[in-house]
Amino acid sequence: MNPLHLSAAGTSLVLSFDSGEAQIAHWGAALGADLPDLSRLTNPVPHSALDVPVVAGLIPQASSGWLGRAGLRGHRLDDDGMPGFDFSPRLRVVEAGLLPPDARGAQTAHLLQRDEEAGVEVATTLILNPGGLLEISHELSNTGSTPYFLEELALVLPLPGQAGELLDLTGRWCRENHPQRHDIRQGTWVRSGRHGRTGHDSSLLVAAGTPGFGNRRGEVWATHFGWSGNHEQFLDSLADGRRMLGASELLGPAEVTLAPGEHYSTPVLYAAYSARGLDGVTERFHRWFRARPHHVDTTSGRLRPVVLNTWEAVYFDHRLEPLKELATAGAALGAERYVLDDGWFRGRRDDHAGLGDWFVDEALWPDGLTPLIDHVTGLGMEFGLWVEPEMVNLDSDVAREHPDWIAGPARAPHTEGGRLPLEWRHQHILDLANPGAWQYIHGRLDALLNENRIAYLKWDQNRDLAEHGHCGRSSVHEQTLAYYRLLDVLKVSHPEVEIESCASGGARVDLGVLQRTDRVWASDCNDALERQTIQRWTQAVLPPELVGSHVGPTHSHTTGRVHDVTFRAITALFGHFGMEWDIRQATERDRTVLRRIIAVYKEHRPLLHSGTQVNADLGDERLRLHGVVAQDRSEALYAAVMLGTLAAELPGRAGLPGLDPRRNYHVEALMPTSEDLPKTVEGDAVSPFVQISPPSWLEDGFTASGAFLEHVGLPLPVLRPEHALLLRVTEVG
């Protein structure tokens, strides 16, 4: 069988079949159109080893001598009911071929591997998109005559020997997506997510690269697992020098049991190769997102609106007149979408009660939400609403009437002696695998959307799914699919309604949920200093138009820090911009800065949400320079950000990456200006700079070629820690 070769945007993937099973012979830099005879590239056989070369297959198998993590694990019962049979499959290729490119130009390889004796077959689809992003998925079928108990079906890609370092992301509530990196060593490195959702500590990106790889240097091989439930990501590094980078759904005991003829489909593993560092990986992901037919509009028509969210303004204090005042204040600043957060539904005065009762609270809203919606829409804004449909308080009508809808580890957790999971924020999980619970939630959400002019749902999920079970069996898999199905059905019925994925902030950020939603809430933390890191690494995969980014109050309620409004505004600009504080109490200076940044956002919204994201490689990690460059490279916005005190006395020159080296550009400081700065009692501006005199270019700008600006750069001013400088770059003739 001839090898299959997929190639696009500087990336090649080659599949070979000489051993009888599918094997990825190469994933990385683009190869020429003509391949040599791959059968001549068999590995040597060392001493004290199997007598034939060991094959590292597309689905690694012990039957081929692979001594690392197996790609497929499962078993059957024998005639006496004893477990553990058919534990080691021997999959061999029975079909393989390339499909015609689709309308977008994506190339697809489809292959089928089968083990007749074990009664299993696996169909694999590999798609290389025009922008270079790779998608891999498997479908397992039980072709035997007895049930097959699936334990794991992994998706893996080989890493070359020059990949010497591994970078992944971790975090916690209000500190999501922080990087960590280490040398690749022998053994198996595993990141397990057992949250029942993606998780605050989940790694949005796992990137292996040549030693010292950075934002714009080095080769990088990176993966993302598109699944919103339990999962594992791993790097398997064997003693023979071969490594596999992969991921799989993490299944509970007997969670997926396939009857004869049934199938199991894996989530998709997304993968990107870059010869230009992490920014090259990011570009592949962003191009893939933006090529989707259902991607949000970023260049014309319904652009990403300026959001005003009520949570940090009023919390649970829902009264019509103050909420109308907040809407009026927001509209005056330029807000375009108003989102009423938690506290509007029946019995909800704090977080102890009401979840599950998705009816407008008649005591708070005797005329329903209509008076507020009419006021908001009359000001020219869209109206959005917060919901948390998967959760329930025990103090709720629905829990009292349907205790059997509450998920738990016991066969009947709602009965006397039944055991519920521990509470989290005073709430439990509705069992969406229960048809009655699913229909109830669908019916309530559908009714809310039919009865009210709602353009947007902020869909929250404020707890992990610990000990999640349906009828006493582990059921995170079923719950996740039921949640997806709920989103899918609502999207069909209400295609004009946008949905945000929020899960205690950034605990459900993945490409599985983003196939069904329109943005994510990256973190419950609006502290601009924390957001600089959270947003940088969230946007390593997600384009900024999908990442909610709000200007929070002067005093952050999650960290206690106090930041100047210009720092908060510049930080929020590079995302889907919004505000989340009581702007009725804002000072006149705060309002001036907010009006200015909203005007900048609206003017540059198409650039921010369609351009190429760039991150400079600087010598001190406490100084960041990042930006967005237009696709035609005619303009750009950059932010120079001081995250802390520098080791050096001066920040030095910083290059502006991503511009066309042959064109000339004018660089100007856009913010802060003297009118943005706080004033002393005497009326003098309080400078964000710590210097006797600024670099001379800062006064009236600087003009140079793109090559000069990137490789020579500009001397940066000495900014105070936790301040930022916004730069605008425009092409000149």
Tens-digit pLDDT profile for residues 136-152: 999 999 999 999 999 99
Average pLDDT over residues 409-437: 90
* CATH number of residue 201's parent domain: 2.70.98.60
pLDDT attached to residue 444: 98
The CB density around residue 546, as the number of other CB atoms within 10 Å, is 28
pLDDT attached to residue 302: 72
* CATH number of residue 709's parent domain: 2.60.40.1180
pLDDT band at 458 (very low <50, low <70, confident <90, very high): very high
Average pLDDT over residues 516-527: 98
Asked if residue 212 belongs to a domain, the reply is yes
Distances (CA, A) of 37 to 2, 31, 93, 122: 9, 14, 19, 27
By residue range, what is the domain housing residue 677? 613-732
Distance CA 274, CA 683 (A): 52
Asked if residue 278 belongs to a domain, the reply is yes
SS3 709: helix
pLDDT attached to residue 339: 98
Sheet holding 72-75, edge to edge: 72-75, 148-153, 256-258
Asked if residue 112 belongs to a domain, the reply is yes
pLDDT band at 688 (very low <50, low <70, confident <90, very high): confident
Distance CA 563, CA 326 (A): 22
Asked if residue 86 belongs to a domain, the reply is yes
The percentage of the chain sitting over the pLDDT mark of 90, rounded to a whole number, equals: 92
The CB density around residue 374, as the number of other CB atoms within 10 Å, is 14
Tens-digit pLDDT profile for residues 459-504: 999 999 999 999 999 999 999 999 999 999 999 999 999 999 999 9
pLDDT attached to residue 722: 96
HEC profile of 63-111: HHCCCCCCCEEEEECCCCCCCCECCCCCCEEEEEEEECCCCCCCEEEEE
Asked if residue 369 belongs to a domain, the reply is no
pLDDT attached to residue 422: 95
- Answer yes or no: is pLDDT of 345 > 90: yes
- Answer yes or no: is pLDDT of 125 > 90: yes
Nearest to 207 by CA among 537, 621, 465: 537
pLDDT band at 22 (very low <50, low <70, confident <90, very high): very high
So which residues are the catalytic ones? 460, 524
Asked if residue 48 belongs to a domain, the reply is no
Boundary-marking domain end, from 247, 274, 291: 291
Boundary-marking domain end, from 238, 273, 291: 291
Average pLDDT over residues 236-260: 97
- Answer yes or no: is pLDDT of 356 > 80: yes
- Answer yes or no: is pLDDT of 350 > 80: yes
pLDDT attached to residue 685: 63
- Answer yes or no: is pLDDT of 100 > 90: yes
Asked if residue 176 belongs to a domain, the reply is yes
Does the reported pTM lie above 0.85? yes
Distance CA 716, CA 625 (A): 10
pLDDT attached to residue 17: 96
Q: How many independent structural domains does the chain possess?
A: 2
- Answer yes or no: is pLDDT of 681 > 70: no
Distance CA 716, CA 586 (A): 31
Nearest to 195 by CA among 464, 479, 460, 432: 464
pLDDT attached to residue 625: 98
Asked if residue 226 belongs to a domain, the reply is yes
pLDDT band at 676 (very low <50, low <70, confident <90, very high): confident
Average pLDDT over residues 400-427: 89
Boundary-marking domain end, from 291, 312, 340: 291
pLDDT attached to residue 239: 93
Residues 713/714/719/724 CA torsion (nearest 10 deg): -70
Average pLDDT, the chain: 96
